[in-house]
Amino acid sequence: MRIDKLLSNLGIGTRSEIKKMIKQKQIKINGELVKNGKDQLDPDSAQVSINDRPVAIQLTKYLMLNKPQNVITATEDAFQRTVLDLIAPDDLVKGLAPVGRLDKDTTGLLLLTNDGQLAHRLLAPHKHVAKTYQATIDGIVNDDTVVRFKAGVRLKDGTLCKPATLKIISVVEKDNQSEVEITITEGKYHQIKRMFAACGMHVATLNRIAMGPLNLDQALGPGQYRPLSENEIQALLKLK
How many Cα neighbours within 13 Å face the side chain of 95? 14
Which strand (E) or helix (H) includes residue 114? none
Q: Which member of 9, 106, 132, 207 binds ligand URA (CB under 6 A)? A: 106
Q: Which member of 85, 103, 138, 217 binds ligand URA (CB under 6 A)? A: 103
- Cα separation, 67 vs 179, whole angstroms: 20
Task: Please check whether residue 85 is in contact with residue 101, taking contact to mean a CB–CB distance below 8 angstroms.
Answer: no
Nearer to ligand URA, 162 or 190 (CB): 190
Decide if residue 191 touches ligand URA (CB under 6 A): yes
DSSP class of residue 175 equals: G
Q: Which member of 129, 141, 206, 216 binds ligand URA (CB under 6 A)? A: 206
Give the active site residue among 85, 103, 138, 217. 103
Q: Which member of 49, 193, 209, 220 binds ligand URA (CB under 6 A)? A: 193
Min dist CB 155 to ligand URA, Å, is 11
Task: Please check whether residue 200 is in contact with residue 148, taking contact to mean a CB–CB distance below 8 angstroms.
Answer: no
103 catalytic residue (yes or no): yes
DSSP class of residue 2 equals: B
Decide if residue 135 touches ligand URA (CB under 6 A): no
Return the residues of window 63-102 that contact ligand URA according to CB under 6 A.
Answer: 102
Decide if residue 199 touches ligand URA (CB under 6 A): no
Task: Please check whether residue 158 is in contact with residue 147, taking contact to mean a CB–CB distance below 8 angstroms.
Answer: no
Q: Which member of 25, 190, 202, 226 binds ligand URA (CB under 6 A)? A: 190
Q: How distant, in Å, are the alpha carbons of 14, 43, 87, 190, 206 from that of 149? A: 50, 47, 36, 16, 17
Which residue ranges make up the site for ligand URA (CB under 6 A)?
Answer: 102-103, 106, 190-193, 206
Active site residues: 103
